[in-house]
Amino acid sequence: MSIRLPYLLFLGDAPDPLAAKVAFGIRDWRPENCVGQLRMAGCQADLGLTDMSLERALAAGARTLVVGVANRGGLIPETWVSALQAGLEAGLDLAAGLHNRLADVPALAVTAAGLGRQIHDVRQPERTYDVADGLPRSGKRLLTVGTDCSCGKMYTALALEKAMRARGMDADFRATGQTGILITGEGVSIDAVVADFISGAVEAHAPANDPEHWDLVEGQGSLFHVSFAGVSTGLLHGAQADALVLCHEPTRTHMRGLPHYPLPDLETCMAANLRVARLTNPAARFVGVSINTAKLSDQAAADCLSEIESRTGLPAVDAVRTGVERIVDALA
């Protein structure tokens, strides 16, 4: 999957900024890929980018109209369909990470086919994969792993990419979920791959590279989340990670969506990840811990990071509050 850059970001009639969080993610992490925003009447989100007509966006170089807003209730509103169809007719491809596929909307499918445009529904893999071979490959790889789902694995990997590139290090974020794919324009939604090919898909999307190059692979799920641990296991094996960063949200009282499952303690979680990772890379090690302290006061956040740092002997950061520089120090 490779989406043509740059993007015009479609915000539709987003009822609030949260509904457009995918668009905000793209703007925050890849501003150079965004020529402007396209908003419909009533839109309550604003990326601070130039509002553009389709014609103006095309003149500014836009190649793909990206749905950066989540739809409510699963249905794609008719008003969006008209706007997206106009995008196809004007000369743009479409990309989205919605549960419902744009390509399943007849008007869009027919228009795209007739005009030779691409529709990228990034939740669905666009290609097939080989099973993993586990052969050692060159280049370095870091994988973010978590005590749970949705605790900062994508954000941490993107923050590491930004900080490493700022130091002149050769580093690429490797997306494994739909938001990450829309941010970078490529990747694989790893939880939508057929089970036999989880680790093979990771091998394909974080391939051999220069010896000093770092792939920063976005983790998914958790070895301790009973719904998704198979995906997390395949990611660990496929990534052949040299370095692992543990991501954690300290106020969570149970595994996401599973009130009957407590979170693992950090040490248990790290030991389990190392055991799995070392099957394909015996040198795998943890280089840091990334804590999402958004729900804590400044003092509580500082105490939390300090306590985890002394417990684990690893740099403990919050990718937003403190930045990830101390983890980059450990890698450099």
User: Does residue 224 interact with a copy of itself by CB under 8 A?
Assistant: yes
Judged by CB under 8 A, the residue of 194, 208, 283, 300 near a copy of itself is 194
Q: How far apart are alpha carbons 153 and 221 in whole angstroms?
A: 9
User: Does residue 135 interact with a copy of itself by CB under 8 A?
Assistant: yes
User: Does residue 199 interact with a copy of itself by CB under 8 A?
Assistant: yes
User: Does residue 226 interact with a copy of itself by CB under 8 A?
Assistant: yes
HSE-CB at 220 with a 13 A cutoff on CA atoms is 28
Shortest Å distance, C-beta 264 to a copy of itself: 9
- Here's the x/- map for a copy of itself, 278-307, by CB under 8 A: it reads as -xx---------------------------
Judged by CB under 8 A, the residue of 15, 91, 230, 323 near a copy of itself is 230
Beta bridge partners of 281: none
| Side chain identity at residue 113, one-letter code | A
Strand arrangement of the beta sheet that strand 140-146 belongs to: 171-174, 214-217, 140-146, 243-248, 285-291, 316-317
User: Does residue 192 interact with a copy of itself by CB under 8 A?
Assistant: yes
Judged by CB under 8 A, the residue of 147, 178, 179, 233 near a copy of itself is 233
- Cβ proximity to a copy of itself: between 176 and 184 the closer is 176
Lookup result for tokens 């974080």: 206
User: Does residue 198 interact with a copy of itself by CB under 8 A?
Assistant: yes
Site size with a copy of itself, rule: CB under 8 A: 36
Peptide bond into 6 cis (omega under 30): yes
Q: How far apart are alpha carbons 222 and 40 in whole angstroms?
A: 38
- Cβ proximity to a copy of itself: between 62 and 239 the closer is 239
Restricted to residues 242-281, the positions that interact with a copy of itself (CB under 8 A) are 257-258, 260-261, 272, 275-276, 279-280
Judged by CB under 8 A, the residue of 190, 239, 247, 328 near a copy of itself is 190
Shortest Å distance, C-beta 177 to a copy of itself: 11
Q: Do residues 259 and 300 make contact, with C-beta atoms less than 8 angstroms apart?
A: no
Candidate segments 2-10, 231-239, 242-250, 303-311, binder of a copy of itself by CB under 8 A = 231-239
Q: Transcribe 230-256 into DSSP letters.
A: HHHHHHHHHHT-SEEEEEE-TT--SBT
Shortest Å distance, C-beta 84 to a copy of itself: 26
User: Does residue 193 interact with a copy of itself by CB under 8 A?
Assistant: yes
Lookup result for tokens 């641990």: 229
| Side chain identity at residue 123, one-letter code | R
**Burial of residue 73, with CB atoms counted within 10 A of its CB: 0-12 exposed, 13-18 middle, 19 or more buried:** exposed
- Cβ proximity to a copy of itself: between 68 and 187 the closer is 187
- DSSP-based three-state secondary structure for 115: helix
- Here's the x/- map for a copy of itself, 14-53, by CB under 8 A: it reads as ----------------------------------------
Structural element, H or E, at residue 156 = helix 153-166
HSE-CB at 133 with a 13 A cutoff on CA atoms is 8
Sequence-separated (6 or more) residues with CB below 8 Å from residue 114:
none
Shortest Å distance, C-beta 63 to a copy of itself: 30
- Cβ proximity to a copy of itself: between 184 and 233 the closer is 233
Q: How far apart are alpha carbons 250 and 291 in whole angstroms?
A: 7
User: Does residue 196 interact with a copy of itself by CB under 8 A?
Assistant: yes
> Where do contacts with a copy of itself occur on this chain (CB under 8 A)?
131-135, 190-196, 198-200, 223-224, 226-231, 233-234, 237-238, 257-258, 260-261, 272, 275-276, 279-280
